């Protein structure tokens, strides 16, 4: 990584890079709140079809994060950041005026490509601007932008929709993106790798995206087609086949789309299994809870957003404190109990939530437990994954971990759509209980995977990115 120029203003770089990542992460959170409003604008589209406004984004982002990170290192982090900023902002404007569900999904993919360029380059710019001794503080501050996005996302989305409608969610990105672009031209320094390596395997990228798409499609459509039907089985088998093709190719090419050799390290392997389990549960829970509050308890979107604020506020307060604990005792000491706490929150929802609204006694305790569990888990998954890797593999390891998060988000959404299925007002609580049970299972699996981590794992690497996972998922 090239050293920063003398006239670089590190905190100004952090403010711009963090603001851009905040815009991306806030957009992700807000869209969950806007989902029902978007569905009403396209009444002919089914729930499964509209879920692709979420899934297409996470699939495209998961498949392109690694090559985007390599592009930033090779062609310049500032240049990649600016390209991603333009793409994300322009795609946001296109989403706001999409005349059909199909075009909205297509524009969401463009948004994801912009986000894939923005996220790794924004963190790389921060890392290159600060001296090594200040990197942990800088990264923690960068991660705080994600925590803030998670905390205000539901309420901000609700207020935007109340002011206009769901299109305001996308239009709000346009002025922010334009201001960030103007400031970036003046403030951000350029940096790139000193020795150039080849670009990741393009066919592998396509295979990975295709496999994720097929698997998500099979899960989402399972309620409509039937789990044992020929179309469902054919799509899922095809997805597994393409995924195996991707793995075989990845093991043979010199510069794979994802470096699977990293999984030979136990810490990396188990931390990413924990990441997948936790992200599936987190995304499913966030998405389902919004649907429950608006569809079962009949909250309006503003009230639903306010009802969901306790959990991210807990994360905002406790996340940085947990980072200090992890630095002293290791990530395993937090991840194992954290997964169980998060699973307990799912179990509390399972036994307490019914059709009768009771926020203070039923939802609030679960939200506080959930926030505590997220604080214990989410800030430490990336650092646990890259702990012990050689310094020149931090970037690759962190990129793979971020891709795993997007895989988890994709399947969290798909599984929620499948579990909720064609619920009615008479059986909706029963359908939501399937999701709460999944949260419990995901929490236990997170703890089980974390238990296999080496006891000595500590938050000593710059890749310790707190709370960003909360917003990304």
Query: Domain map of the chain by residue range?
Result: 1-186, 201-256, 258-473
pLDDT in tens, 79-91: 999 999 999 999 9
Confidence of residue 194 (pLDDT cuts 50, 70, 90): low
Backbone phi, psi, residue 141, to 5°: -65, -40
The Cα 260–Cα 393 span in angstroms is: 12
Residue 248, pLDDT score: 92
Comparing CA positions, the residue from 314, 354, 357 lying closest to residue 436 is 354
Comparing CA positions, the residue from 279, 213, 269, 258 lying closest to residue 66 is 258
pTM of the entire structure?
Answer: 0.80
Please, are residues 229 and 172 in contact by the beta-carbon 8 Å criterion?
no
CATH superfamily of domain region 258-473 = MFS general substrate transporter like domains (1.20.1250.20)
Comparing CA positions, the residue from 204, 208, 198, 205 lying closest to residue 252 is 204
> Per-residue DSSP letters for 101-140?
HHHHHHHHHHHHHHHHHHHHHHHHHHHHHS-GGGHHHHHH
pLDDT in tens, 327-376: 778 888 999 999 999 999 999 999 999 989 999 999 999 999 999 999 88
Confidence of residue 321 (pLDDT cuts 50, 70, 90): confident
Indicate the CATH number for domain 1-186.
1.20.1250.20
Residue 66, pLDDT score: 75
Comparing CA positions, the residue from 9, 223, 251, 245 lying closest to residue 128 is 9
* 112 alpha carbon, distance to own chain's centre: 11
Residue 211 has pLDDT above 80, yes or no: yes
Neighbour tally for 103: CB within 10 Å: 13
The Cα 216–Cα 12 span in angstroms is: 40
Residue 18 has pLDDT above 90, yes or no: no
């Amino acid at each position: 990584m090239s050293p920063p120029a003398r006239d670089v203003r590190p905190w100004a770089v952090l403010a711009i890079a963090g603001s851009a990542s905040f815009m991306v992460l806030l957009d992700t959170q807000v869209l969950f709140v806007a989902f029902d409003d978007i569905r009403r604008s396209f009444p002919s589209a089914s729930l499964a079809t509209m879920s692709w406004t979420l899934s297409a984004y996470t699939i495209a982002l998961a498949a392109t994060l690694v090559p985007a990170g390599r592009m930033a290192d090779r062609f310049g982090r500032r240049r990649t950041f600016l390209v991603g900023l333009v793409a994300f902002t322009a795609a946001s404007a296109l989403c706001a005026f999409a005349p059909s569900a199909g075009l909205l999904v297509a524009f969401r993919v463009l948004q994801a490509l912009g986000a894939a360029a923005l996220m790794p380059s924004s963190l790389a710019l921060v890392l290159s601007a600060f001296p090594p001794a200040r990197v942990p503080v800088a990264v923690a501050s960068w991660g705080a932008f994600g925590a803030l996005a998670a905390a205000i996302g539901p309420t901000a989305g609700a207020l935007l929709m109340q002011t206009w409608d769901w299109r305001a969610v996308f239009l709000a990105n346009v002025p922010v993106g334009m201001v960030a672009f103007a400031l970036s031209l003046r403030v951000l320094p350029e940096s790139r790798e000193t020795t150039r390596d080849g670009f990741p395997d393009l066919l592998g990228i396509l295979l990975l995206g295709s496999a994720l798409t097929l698997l998500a499609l099979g899960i989402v459509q399972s309620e409509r087609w039937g789990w044992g039907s020929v179309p469902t089985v054919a799509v899922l088998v095809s997805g597994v086949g393409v995924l195996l093709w991707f793995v075989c190719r990845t093991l043979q090419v010199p510069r794979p789309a994802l470096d699977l050799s990293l999984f030979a390290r136990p810490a990396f392997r188990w931390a990413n299994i924990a990441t997948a389990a936790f992200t599936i549960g987190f995304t499913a829970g966030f998405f389902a809870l919004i649907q429950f509050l608006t569809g079962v308890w009949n909250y309006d979107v503003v009230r639903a957003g306010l009802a969901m604020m306790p959990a991210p506020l807990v994360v905002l307060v406790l996340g940085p404190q947990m980072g200090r604990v992890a630095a002293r005792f290791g990530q395993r000491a937090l991840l194992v109990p954290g997964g169980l706490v998060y699973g307990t929150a799912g179990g509390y929802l399972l036994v307490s939530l019914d059709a009768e609204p009771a926020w203070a006694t039923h939802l609030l305790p679960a939200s506080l437990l959930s926030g505590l569990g997220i604080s214990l888990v989410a800030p430490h998954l990336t650092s646990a994954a890259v702990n012990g890797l050689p310094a020149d593999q931090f970037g690759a390891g962190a990129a793979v971990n971020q891709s795993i998060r997007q895989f988890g988000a994709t399947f969290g959404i798909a599984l929620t759509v499948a579990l909720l299925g064609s619920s009615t007002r008479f059986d909706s609580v029963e359908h939501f209980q399937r999701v709460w049970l999944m949260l419990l299972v995901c929490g236990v699996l997170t703890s089980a995977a974390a238990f296999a981590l080496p006891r000595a794992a500590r938050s000593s690497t710059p890749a310790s990115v707190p709370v960003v996972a909360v917003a990304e998922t």
